[in-house]
Amino acid sequence: MRILLFGPPGVGKGTQAKLLSTEFKIPHISTGDMLREAVAAGTELGNIAKGIMAKGGLVPDDVMNGIVKEKLSSSSTAKGFLLDGFPRTLPQAEALTALFETLHIDDYKVVELQINPEEVVRRLSSRLVCPKDGKIFSMITDHLQINSPCPACGSGLIQRQDDREEAIRERLRVYDATTAPVIKYYTARGKAISVDGSAAVETVNRAIKAKLQVNASV
């Protein structure tokens, strides 16, 4: 199974990606996670990405195309993969099509999760992350704040730089401006299916699998 998963920030794309990756036994390739790891490790890639990510902008296409090409050419992704966060622009989509041709891949599916933008702002601007174990909490449902101790390990909770409201709005603007044409690109190729991402996690997961018309063995 080869899936390209799309959706605006805050739609729960990462959560769905992890579920699908487990159910279909395919590696979850998140370009956002790869970049965050590079930033944390202080690599050359991390230094390029750091400032751009903090402002909610996009890392240059040639950089992203190179990272994804390397990943999809490795044996770990030969039997399938779930791509999360790529392609985000038309040049990235075109580069991926060219890469798929080289790798003789044409049996991929494109899934788009949809949600109201104001719900995204509400969800993300209240999100807190534990810097130590990566656990996610909500200021609203967990009644925690920035610097509250992580309920699991006691470390001070932080807000991701790009979860500040102005950065969220910029990420939504960037998503609309750049990713909408990418969805159209795949729709024109008969590849795209869309799913309501505002429902409960399990409901969204079932809807995706129903639309993929596959019974995943969990």
Question: Which residues bind to ligand AMP, rule: CB under 6 A?
Answer: 9, 31-32, 35, 52-53, 56-59, 64, 85-86, 88, 92, 162, 171
Rounded to the nearest angstrom, the gap between the alpha carbon of residue 114 and the centroid of all alpha carbons in its chain is: 13
Q: Please confirm, yes or no, whether 160 is among the known catalytic residues.
A: yes
Q: Which of 36, 109, 123, 171 is catalytic?
A: 171
Nearer to ligand AMP, 52 or 216 (CB): 52
Eight-state DSSP code of residue 85? S
Concerning whether 122 is annotated as a catalytic residue, the answer is: no
Active-site residue, 36 included: no
Cis? peptide before 149, omega within 30° of 0: no
Give the span between the Cα atoms of 99 and 73, in whole angstroms. Answer: 9
Q: Rg (Cα) of the chain, in Å, rounded?
A: 17
User: Annotated catalytic residue: which of 50, 160, 169, 191?
Assistant: 160
- Please name the residue that has the structure tokens 């190179």: 66
Is 127 or 209 the residue whose CB approaches ligand AMP more closely? 127
164 in active site: no
From CA 78, how far away is CA 12, in angstroms rounded? 26
Q: How many helices (H) and strands (E) does the chain have?
A: 9, 7
Q: Which of 2, 13, 36, 109 is catalytic?
A: 13
- Out of 127, 169, 191, 209, pick the active-site residue: 127
88 is catalytic: yes
Residue ranges of alpha helices (H) inside 31-190 are 31-41, 44-54, 61-72, 90-102, 117-125, 165-174, 180-188
Query: Nearer Cβ to ligand AMP, position 38 or 208?
Result: 38
What's the closest the beta carbon of residue 205 comes to ligand AMP, in angstroms? Answer: 19
Tell me how far, at minimum, the Cβ of 62 lies from ligand AMP, in Å: 11
The minimum distance between CB 217 and ligand AMP, in angstroms, equals: 28
In the bound state with ligand AMP, the residue whose beta carbon lies nearer, of 28 and 88, is 88
Q: Which residues pair with 110 in a beta bridge?
A: 4, 192
Residues belonging to the active site: 13, 88, 127, 160, 171
